[in-house]
Chains A and B, each alone.
Chain A
């Protein structure tokens, strides 16, 4: 039933023009920032890399790194996917049809979470592949040996999609708790900024575990020391479990 739900969600997306628009915007955004050697986004720890990128000759690798530094912008663009996959279910009450079937509440939540992850994975894949190809078309050097570069590319795609999905997961939990797509979408959109501002204002060191986009940027630009990698991933995985279990418990006890 869970696989059927995921298939149904992808069927629905194939028939929604907003999904095609998101794909188009991803390609345009990636191509433009890579071709124009411009970087933009919400970042705290990326300033060193930013200076390096500005002062050096761009390679395909630096194009991919700049794409990572700009990846927080993707969150805004991909809000539409969140609304289509989860928001519409609640705003149009179609979850009633879904839940009056063999699918359990837990399967429903996991199916939504996986659909969002698969969506983000293919969009982020498209984003980086566009950056990769644009860099090559612009005649830039690889910046690394090709196998190493492809390894980096794979790592970047997985890391950015994973951490972006953690933020979407928080949105999913909020949507189920509040039944408000607006609240969920706003929290997703402001999450990186909120954590950054809170971090600057309070100096709470533990906030770094919740700076998902910052962590994604650090991992993919190789500025995060390997030793710190474990606890941050552990926190994210733990949070995903809390999101799934919390959402399931909430939806089981709600008047739907």
Chain B
């Protein structure tokens, strides 16, 4: 059963004459890693600020963990967030910042600080002043502060900005770990779409203050024809063999190409299966779904409308 963590209904936001958000409707379910995609000024941060009440709601309704109105503040205690940039006291050490966070939430500091330091990989930097950390380490500390109270819902606004490639990979692993081990639902925005594709299970595209599309990763992959592309002169036979072997979503593209629209299959196994059945395979390639391509084509469509 899907349990909604966040429901946004008809939310609009205006700054003077500027319409920042228009009639946003969005639902994020428990366990989702929801990637929010949009160009600068599209309204991603504004939406996140509305959810966290850092910006007053003007129109519409937001339900967080089943709570609205007076109970919303209570629900916020189950949310961790990094909005715009991680905030911490620069003159306190990493461990002191985390302990301060534990005190603020009325939580026992001793086990949580240690666990969080280990989780975000900052144990070695525990006694370093936060102001002396590298950009990547600051992002980790920001994440540590957000996850220390063990939130059910994590909101991350551009958390991988400025991270080096190694840092990005580590950050991705941290998010997946949080989602899988602690069942934390995550709303994340990023300009690095390849990274967002790697980590997210659902996507929302926001353009000029409007949420123009929401779709799951499977839907995105289908739209992008992601999967394993087989080149062979015996397409019909290959399709029959794979069908009998219970491969799903087989698509004959032309008389030379067959697409297995599944991203979690092993091309080597397919190759072995076909060759052993006497099908000559000319080429076999893993085709990744490109979020950039999909996003660009979506924007072009929007531009035409």
Contacts and interface: CB of A to CB of B under 8 A. Distances in A.
Do A and B make up one complex?
Answer: yes
Interface of A: 1, 4-5, 7-8, 11-12, 15-16, 88, 92-94, 96-104, 252-256
Contacts of B93: 15
B104 A8 contact: yes
Nearest to B75: A102
Contacts of A12: 89, 92, 100
B203 to A, nearest CB: 24
B53 interface: yes
B52 A11 contact: no
Given A96-B83, A100-B53, 13 more contacts: A11-B99, A11-B100, A16-B92, A88-B89, A92-B90, A96-B81, A100-B79, A101-B76, A102-B73, A102-B77, A103-B104, A256-B54, A256-B55
B104 A5 contact: yes
A255 B101 contact: no
B91 interface: yes
B3 interface: no
Nearest to B85: A93
Contact of A100 (B74, B76, B92): B76
Nearest to A97: B87
B76 A98 contact: no
Interface of B: 15, 49, 52-56, 73-74, 76-77, 79-81, 83-85, 87-93, 96, 99-101, 103-106, 145, 149
B88 A92 contact: yes
Contacts of B54: 96, 99-100, 255-256
B87 A92 contact: yes
A92 B88 CA distance: 7
Contacts of A252: 56
Query: Which of A7, A8, A16, A103 has most chain B Cβ within 10 Å?
Result: A8
A152 to B, nearest CB: 37
B89 A94 contact: yes
A94 B130 CA distance: 13
B100 A8 contact: yes
A223 to B, nearest CB: 43
B53 A94 contact: no
Given A94-B89, A96-B83, A11 B77 contact: no
11 contacts: A5-B104, A8-B103, A11-B103, A12-B89, A97-B88, A98-B104, A100-B52, A100-B79, A252-B56, A254-B56, A256-B49
Contact of B145 (A4, A97, A104): A97
Contact of A94 (B84, B87, B106): B87
B53 A4 contact: no
Contacts of A15: 91-93, 96
A97 B101 contact: yes
Contacts of A1: 106
A12 B15 CA distance: 36
A96 B53 CA distance: 10
Nearest to B80: A100
A255 B87 contact: no
A102 B74 contact: yes
B60 to A, nearest CB: 17
Contacts of B83: 96, 100
Contacts of B56: 252-255
Contact of B53 (A7, A16, A99): A99
A4 B107 CA distance: 9
Contacts of B49: 255-256
Contacts of B104: 4-5, 8, 97-98, 101, 103
A8 B54 CA distance: 21
Contacts of A96: 52, 54, 81, 83, 87
Query: Which of A1, A99, A101, A103 has most chain B Cβ within 10 Å?
Result: A101
Contacts of B89: 12, 88, 92, 94
Contacts of B149: 101
A4 B268 CA distance: 58
Contact of A4 (B76, B96, B105): B105
A254 B89 CA distance: 22
A100 B15 CA distance: 22
A254 B87 CA distance: 18
Given A12-B89, A96-B54, A102 B76 contact: yes
A63 B56 CA distance: 53
Nearest to B91: A16
Contacts of A97: 87-88, 101, 104, 145
A253 B55 CA distance: 8
Contacts of B106: 1, 4
A204 to B, nearest CB: 38
